């Protein structure tokens, strides 16, 4: 089992270009796994972890409802935003500057073959990260992601998650609202959930956070929880 992960920070990159890149990495791994089975080989599969910031974009998951996007095509252009229907789970979300997006493309057969556990460990990675800033994150039953003040009238989401997997290889991932402009969430019903707000680390702390510092903390907790040998840049 290969528990090394190749780490790449893409900086600011177009959503569609990143989606295509993720797909290429996933397919390369899937192809190795198919070849191993057909030819009775044991070639090692790779794992990847991408960090990225996207320009303003709304994405709708395969089970999502178009009515949760509250903008028409012209209004999207006015906001400088794009829109894509994509192949992850979940409904609609927003990505934009100041948001830390992480895409683990892992062969879970190198770690464990349990999608539920995978999602819970992704959530725990973020919960432990924001706890270092004094923010108490938690889970909301039946609603993937990381939330604050669950069970109160002030429940709000700080990190959205949605994934896809093929032959135990993952893609897509999480979007942590660090210094993001929360006004862009007003144009959607986030994750298709009415009546719950969205927040950010900046909004909770009253100041911007250092994105590179937050990424370092994410990797630290991810490495521990997933029992990663090392990240290779």
98 is in an annotated binding site: no
199 is in an annotated binding site: no
What is the reported pLDDT for 63?
80
The one-character DSSP state at 1 is -
pLDDT of 138 over the 80 cut: yes
Place of tokens 């791994």: 29
92 is in an annotated binding site: yes
Q: Is 42 helix (H, G, I), strand (E, B) or coil?
A: coil
CATH for 4-232? 3.30.930.10
Considering the candidates 5, 191, 198, 214, report the single residue annotated as catalytic.
191
Q: Is 25 helix (H, G, I), strand (E, B) or coil?
A: helix
pTM, full prediction? 0.95
9 is in an annotated binding site: no
Q: Rounded to an integer, what distance in angstroms lies between the CA atom of residue 64 and that of residue 47?
A: 28
Average pLDDT, the chain: 95
* Percentage of the chain lying above the pLDDT 90 cut: 88
Q: Tens digits of per-residue pLDDT, 34-63?
A: 999 999 999 999 999 999 999 999 999 888
Q: Which pLDDT band holds residue 99 (cuts at 50, 70, 90)? A: very high
Q: Rounded to an integer, what distance in angstroms lies between the CA atom of residue 91 and that of residue 157?
A: 14
In this prediction, residues 206-223 reach a mean pLDDT of 98
pLDDT of 194 over the 80 cut: no
Over its C-alpha atoms, the chain yields an Rg (Å, rounded) of: 17
23 is in an annotated binding site: no
pLDDT of 140 over the 70 cut: yes
pLDDT of 133 over the 90 cut: yes
What is the reported pLDDT for 101?
98
What is the reported pLDDT for 173?
97
What is the reported pLDDT for 156?
95
Residue 159 annotated in active site: no
Q: Which pLDDT band holds residue 195 (cuts at 50, 70, 90)? A: low
Give every CB contact of residue 178 below 8 A, 6+ residues apart in sequence.
98, 99, 100, 200, 201, 202, 209, 211, 214
The 3 state secondary structure assigned to 151-193 is CCCCCEEEEEEEEEEECCEEEEEEEEECCCCHHHHHHECHHHC
61 is in an annotated binding site: no
pLDDT of 192 over the 60 cut: no
What is the reported pLDDT for 41?
94
């Amino acid at each position: 089992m290969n528990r090394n992960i190749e780490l790449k920070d893409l900086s600011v990159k177009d959503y569609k270009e990143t989606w295509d890149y993720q797909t290429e990495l996933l397919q390369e791994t899937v192809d190795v796994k198919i070849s191993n089975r057909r030819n009775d080989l044991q070639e090692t599969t790779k794992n990847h972890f991408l960090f990225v910031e996207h320009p303003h974009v709304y994405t709708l998951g395969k089970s999502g409802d178009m009515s949760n996007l509250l903008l028409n095509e012209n209004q999207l252009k006015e906001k400088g935003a794009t829109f894509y229907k994509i192949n992850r789970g979940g409904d609609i979300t927003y990505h934009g500057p100041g948001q830390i997006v992480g895409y683990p493309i892992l062969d879970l057969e190198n770690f464990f073959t349990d999608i539920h556990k995978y999602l819970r460990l992704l959530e725990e990675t973020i919960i432990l990260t924001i706890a270092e800033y004094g923010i108490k994150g938690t889970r909301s039953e039946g609603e993937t992601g990381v939330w604050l003040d669950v069970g109160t009238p002030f429940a709000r989401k700080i990190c959205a998650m949605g994934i896809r997997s093929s032959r135990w290889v993952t893609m897509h991932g999480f979007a942590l609202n660090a210094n993001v402009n929360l006004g862009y969430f007003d144009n959607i019903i986030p994750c298709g959930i009415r009546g719950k707000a969205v927040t950010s680390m900046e909004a909770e702390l009253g100041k911007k956070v250092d994105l590179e510092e937050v990424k370092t903390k994410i990797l630290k907790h991810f490495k521990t929880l997933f029992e990663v040998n090392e990240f290779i840049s």
